[in-house]
Amino acid sequence: MTATLQTRIDTAFAQHFGHAPTLHVRAPGRVNLIGEHTDYNDGFVLPCAIDFETRIAVGPRSDRQVRICACDYGDAIDQFDLDAPIAPRPDAQWANYVRGVVQVLLAKGLALGGMDMAIAGNVPQGAGLSSSASLEVAVGQAFNALHNSELLTPTDIALAAQKAENSFVGVNCGIMDQLISACGQADHALLIDCRSLTTQAVPVPAGLAVMIVHSHVQRGLVGSEYNTRRQQCEAAAAHYGVKALRDIDVARLERDAAGLDAVVLRRARHIVTENQRTLDAAQALATGDLQRLGQLMAASHDSMRDDFAITVPPIDHLVAILQAAIGPQGGARMTGGGFGGCVVALLPEALVPTARAAVAAQYRAPNGDAATVYVCHASAGVGVV
């Protein structure tokens, strides 16, 4: 798979720019095992980087031009000048992820030079596996490696990528997607404190598979609903007089709820309980307690369905199929922003054929499509190839 990516970017680079690249960088997509919508509430998340990635072939230029070939968009070309204002392109959303990162790096005062890039990725798009963060982090690493002798840490790159998505692309995301793409560790999940940005590597037990099942339910509402949920969480934090919902526990949530809108209370309850579930799940994963891990994943899904209201019936059905196939040896839950996208399951590798067969036999998307199954492994974060 990665060999194919490498061939594609090298071929496109030579064809469009007339010389060979100087270096190659990669950044992975991610799946969040548990901890949904907690990141922008200063809470805890437990993602792992996956072995699907964005790769970029990179070469320096003697002028101040940046030229990009997007192999996944029919070798579409973007070009801009580092000394001119960098504006979004309404006709090419993919280009804005690159432009946004470059603008943020320039604003940080980094000494950037002209560059040619050919980009390709195999992170499924629109599935909630952070193809956009993978692209942003890879672009940050390309400029860091070529022009700045690795001045930026992986966390610096993640923060720049998040700022680009917030301020340039216009998606008010938290830090999780970019941080796990930058800082992931092979064979480990990463418990991230989204307030302090401290991370703790959590070993994934040998023989445990990370199965991602794409529902093929189009995530049509996720943008507007994401911003609504964020506003509701901010309203709840203001009601309790705290900086973020991370700062209260369930006892305080219930005790001081008088006067809080009932819907906003449910949204807050999801965040508060999900934070604790995430900490508990990290412990269960580290000790190999798959039964406890499965219970926590099931409770997380129920909370997303009932309190945060971000699941849809086909996703609920898909989770139920997987939970029944896995039994007490792991678990399944929706992952990502909601309203479609993917389900993540953790299960022994020996149970993968059983779970795969159950999904094939019992699930169809509303449009009749079968689900797509990806069996992944926890992978390393951004780097030079």
What's the pLDDT band for 125 if we cut at 50, 70, 90?
confident
pLDDT at 101 over 60: yes
Residue range 83-104: mean pLDDT, rounded: 96
pLDDT at 31 over 90: yes
pLDDT at 219 over 80: no
| Residue 220: per-residue pLDDT | 64
pLDDT digits (tens, 9 = 90+) for 288-325: 999 999 999 999 999 999 999 999 999 999 999 999 99
Residue range 122-141: mean pLDDT, rounded: 90
pLDDT digits (tens, 9 = 90+) for 225-235: 888 999 999 99
| Residue 225: per-residue pLDDT | 87
- The fraction of the chain above a pLDDT of 90, given in percent, is 90
| Residue 223: per-residue pLDDT | 66
Domains by residue range for the chain, with CATH: 2-204 (3.30.230.10), 208-376 (3.30.70.890)
| Residue 2: per-residue pLDDT | 62
Catalytic: 177?
A: yes
What's the pLDDT band for 196 if we cut at 50, 70, 90?
very high
> Given 177, 193, 247, 249, which residue is catalytic?
177
- The fraction of the chain above a pLDDT of 70, given in percent, is 98
Contact 178/199 with Cβ under 8 angstroms?
Answer: no
Reduced to 3 states (helix: H, G, I; strand: E, B; else coil), residue 289 is: coil
Average pLDDT, the chain: 95
| Residue 147: per-residue pLDDT | 83
| Residue 222: per-residue pLDDT | 59
| Residue 3: per-residue pLDDT | 67
What's the pLDDT band for 192 if we cut at 50, 70, 90?
very high
Residue range 334-338: mean pLDDT, rounded: 90
Residue range 142-160: mean pLDDT, rounded: 90
